Amino acid sequence: MDRGRQPATAGSLWAVKSSSRIRRILPLVAVVLVATACVASGEPVSWEDQADASGDGLVEREFVAACVEANDDLGSVKAKAFCGCVLDGIQSEVSFEKFRELDAFIDDQRDTVTRDMLVEHYGWFVDISDDCGA
């Protein structure tokens, strides 16, 4: 799946909300993996597990859907572009296992996670989110 990794153009809105945008993505990472783990075939082991007719795996579909919902202030088109960009960036930068590590970290630190913590432990995630929001 290639969304062209074109950054969403949220302009000054992104500059104002960059920290909150990352905080909005954090819960959805945990929700996506928890939701997909509950399916009958068990916990997903790759991005491609349970692909639909378009070739998008269940984790990919759930990530984009939850991300779009969490970023509804951008409008549908910009939110889809932003979320697709973040997903493409994650998939091109890290393995599915690293994504799962991020999920576990967010789940463990849900109430206390900060941008600084993410920069320290998962700088790639912050960089991708920032690049897509530019």
The domain locations on the chain are 25-133
* Mean of pLDDT over the chain: 76
Please give the Cα distance from 31 to 9 (Å, whole number).
26
Mean pLDDT of 1-27: 43
Give pLDDT tens digits for 46-58.
888 888 899 899 8
Give pLDDT tens digits for 76-123.
999 999 999 999 999 999 999 999 898 888 888 878 888 899 999 999
* Per-residue pLDDT, 63: 86
User: How many angstroms separate the Cα of 122 from the Cα of each of 19, 42, 61, 116, 127?
Assistant: 15, 27, 22, 10, 9
Question: If you ran DSSP here, which 8-state letter would residue 2 be given?
Answer: -
